[in-house]
Amino acid sequence: MKKKSMLIAACAAVMFALGIAWGGRACQAAKPSALKVKDNKIVNASDKAVVLKGVSTHGIAWYPQYVNKQCFKSFKKMGANTIRLAFYSDDSAGYDKSLYIKVEEGVKAATDLGMYVIIDWHILSDGNPKKNQKKAKEFFTYFAKKYAGQTNVLYEICNEPNGDVTWGRDIKPYAEKMIKLIRKYDKNGIIIVGTPTWSQDVDLVAEDPIRNQNNIAYAFHFYAATHKDQLREKLKTANEKGLPVIVTEFSICDASGNGKIDKKEAKAWMKLLKKHKIGRVAWNISNKNETSALIQPSCKKTDKISKKNLSKSGKWIVGNW
């Protein structure tokens, strides 16, 4: 073969290979890297910090319509890499086993988009995780079996312990049981453990963390118009003491999920989270008439949501996270 035609053939081969690579990318979102916990951080296989940034559904019993791929994709375009699926655990708060299917749809949608997904057992009015422990066991057995080895899935085992609950007597023993149960199936998926006082007292947990288990992180929640310096101190203390923390829920209004927005405090929170490379998931994907809802009440879309459809808190959050 002449030199010139050899060159043309080589160029064609390279272009063909690039075409395959490009085509492959276009069809399927890149798989997010597998996660692990190292020291006080969530990292990838090369030990580089991975910051989970995302949005949480409202209770999927009330707002199931937002659990869909196009809706999640809208938030991905605005910078999210994570979806949290909030499954309320108490009968009085919308627990319904027939909603497992919604969790499955949500995991699939997030997975198809190359996003991380947190399966959240959303205890709230049932302040003590032991109250619905039997249902929690059934829930996590089902999902850990199903998603064993699926590296974009994380398990959050008790949203917000509150009321007459202590770390040592209630939450830690509950967590150890759930970890054992999940690890029967899923050996490495990150398990996020809720902390006392609506997932705020991470400083107490840092004194007595769960030992001899891998890939355990702890939940921390804040609402910027209620929680300020004092709570930031708790987070800083715990994280600097070595506790791996992830903010699986926050908003910039008050702790009721409603009321005024406090941008000054919100900025201080973002600064701290960015400095410590701590992940953050915003509450909530709905158009409910409450400040924390990320979508405007007048917007009825459940897919292809754009920045202009977002509420005031939604716009601020996607502009500053």
Q: φ and ψ at 222, to 5 degrees?
A: -145, 155
249 is catalytic: yes
138 is catalytic: no
- The tokens describing 44, both together, are 């990838």
Beta-carbon contacts of 244 under 8 Å, excluding residues fewer than 6 positions away, are: 37, 39, 40, 41, 42, 216, 217, 218
Is the bond into 287 cis (omega within 30 degrees of 0)? no
Measured distance CA(110)–CA(105) in Å, rounded: 9
CB closer to ligand IDC out of 66 and 198: 198
Measured distance CA(259)–CA(255) in Å, rounded: 9
Q: How far is the CB of 222 from ligand IDC (least distance, A)?
A: 9
Q: How far is the CB of 121 from ligand IDC (least distance, A)?
A: 11
CB closer to ligand IDC out of 95 and 198: 198
In sequence order, what are the beta bridge partners of 116?
A: 82
CB closer to ligand IDC out of 249 and 265: 249
Q: How far is the CB of 22 from ligand IDC (least distance, A)?
A: 42
Q: φ and ψ at 68, to 5 degrees?
A: -155, 160
CB closer to ligand IDC out of 87 and 321: 87
Query: Under DSSP, is residue 18 helix (H, G, I), strand (E, B) or coil?
Result: helix
Q: Which residues contribute to the site for ligand IDC (CB under 6 A)? A: 93, 124, 159-160, 198, 221, 223, 249, 255-257, 283-284, 288, 290, 292
The catalytic residue among 156, 249, 265, 290 is 249
Angle at 104 between CA 102 and CA 109, to 5 degrees: 95
**Strand runs labelled E in 36-81:** 36-38, 41-43, 53-59
CB 137 within 8 A of CB 229: no
Between the two ends of the chain, the Cα-to-Cα distance in Å is 58
Q: How far is the CB of 29 from ligand IDC (least distance, A)?
A: 29
Q: How far is the CB of 118 from ligand IDC (least distance, A)?
A: 13
Measured distance CA(306)–CA(299) in Å, rounded: 10
The catalytic residue among 160, 207, 233, 290 is 160
CB closer to ligand IDC out of 50 and 117: 117
CB closer to ligand IDC out of 40 and 200: 200
**Strand runs labelled E in the chain:** 36-38, 41-43, 53-59, 82-88, 116-122, 153-156, 191-193, 216-223, 245-251, 280-285
- Residue positions annotated with a catalytic role: 160, 249
